[in-house]
Structure 1
Amino acid sequence: MNIHHITPKTIIAALAVMAVPAAAFAAPVLTGSAAAPRNTSTTAVAIASCPRGWGSLPEANSRMTQAPVTAVRTGRHACYDRIVVDIRGRAPGYDVRYVKNVYTDGAGHLVPLRGGAKLQVVVRAPAYSSTGAATYSPKNARELTNVAGYSTFRQVAYAGTFEGQTTIGLGVRARLPFRVYTLAGPGSNTRLVIDVAHHW
């Protein structure tokens, strides 16, 4: 630039540019729907890393045990919702399957369940001791745990205990794949675990 041609207007324009804050040239922060592509990508990665090979057909083990049920718990995980049945003693057998409706043990009364599909969980263990004392007696048989906000679970209900086995009704969002297994511990206790996936 030829300094002899600098005019007062040129000087004022240059000073105006220098006075603009650096933040005015920073990249925009995406919020709301503009940030959706980033969240969608993260969700896609999470789904891709979830376990595969689960199915929706019945899973069963005929082993019976006198070790009683003591608690029912649920939890949320990245790829699935989980229900855990605590057993005071050896691992029980089970029968877990999708059904049209779940009914109470013995009396055969309908157990209403929220959700697009119903999973019947039969634990081959009683909810009472060898003397007949209850080892698991929920305060609210229709809502064993609070599953508000869960991706897959819609309701967990108690269908009773009869002739050495205990039944739980699980209302889920849709007919989704699941897996069933048992875990040892803590101590001499065991746990029956059912995981129901968020997606196929």
Structure 2
Amino acid sequence: MLKLRRPHRHRLVAAATGALLALGLVAAAPASAAPRTAAPTPLVVNARWGGHCTFDRVVVDLQGHVPEVVVDRVPELVYDGSGKPVPLPGTHFLEVRLHPAAAHDEAGQSVYRGPQLIQLNLPRLKGLALTGDYEGYVTFGAAFTTRPEYTTFTLHDPERLVLDISHPNVC
């Protein structure tokens, strides 16, 4: 054990106290004092689909990161804002919400190049629509004639959201 003479011990305690106080002041500085770089809102630029032997797939292409995604079963599809029904065939529907996200740039110009509304004849997927681009939410609706079983995941470089809807083998 290292023994310090009293004057050295006081200097050591004073130096340690000063260092702790300095660290405490830095740690207690308000967050606004530190420069922040918020990630830009991801842009939804396209939606596409495909039929495969055992699943139908919807892919949403993004610029930026993949935001939070919520997929809900809904009794009907409606357009955000107006509440008007989406004219797609089907008896079962999924609503896919991305937040925060936008399908327009800062000037209000659309960056989305995919379908607004399309009827499909895949084994499960019967239609797809862009149903909203409002206040940081981009919403899609998907229509089915039977209750869909689905999984979602993301792919990167480029950023994509994938929705796979399973069905019996058709190949």
The equivalent of 1:192 in structure 2 is 161
After TM superposition, give the deviation of residue 164 of structure 1 in Å.
1.0
The CA distance in 1 between the partners of 2:78 and 2:91, in whole Å, is 17
- Residues 133-152 of structure 1 deviation map (CA, whole Å, 9 limit, x = unaligned): 211155x6221xx623x111
Structure 2 matches for 1:95-134, cutoff 5 A?
95-124=70-99, 125-134=101-110
**Which is higher, the Rg of structure 1 or of structure 2?**
1
Structure 2 matches for 1:43-192, cutoff 5 A?
66-124=41-99, 125-138=101-114, 141-143=116-118, 147-148=120-121, 150-186=122-158, 190-192=159-161
**Aligned letter for 2:82?**
A
After TM superposition, give the deviation of residue 76 of structure 1 in Å.
1.1
Q: TM-score, normalised by structure 2?
A: 0.69
The alignment yields a C-alpha RMSD, in angstroms, of: 1.9
The CA distance in 1 between the partners of 2:64 and 2:124, in whole Å, is 29
**Aligned letter for 1:119?**
L
After TM superposition, give the deviation of residue 65 of structure 1 in Å.
6.5
Identity, % of aligned positions: 32
After TM superposition, give the deviation of residue 131 of structure 1 in Å.
3.0
The CA distance in 2 between the partners of 1:182 and 1:94, in whole Å, is 10
Partner SS state of residue 111, structure 1: coil
Q: Which consecutive aligned stretches of 4+ in structure 1 deviate over 3 angstroms post-superposition?
A: none
The CA distance in 1 between the partners of 2:78 and 2:52, in whole Å, is 28
Unaligned runs of 5+ in 2: 1-38
Q: How many residues align?
A: 129
Q: TM-score, normalised by structure 1?
A: 0.59
After TM superposition, give the deviation of residue 80 of structure 1 in Å.
0.7
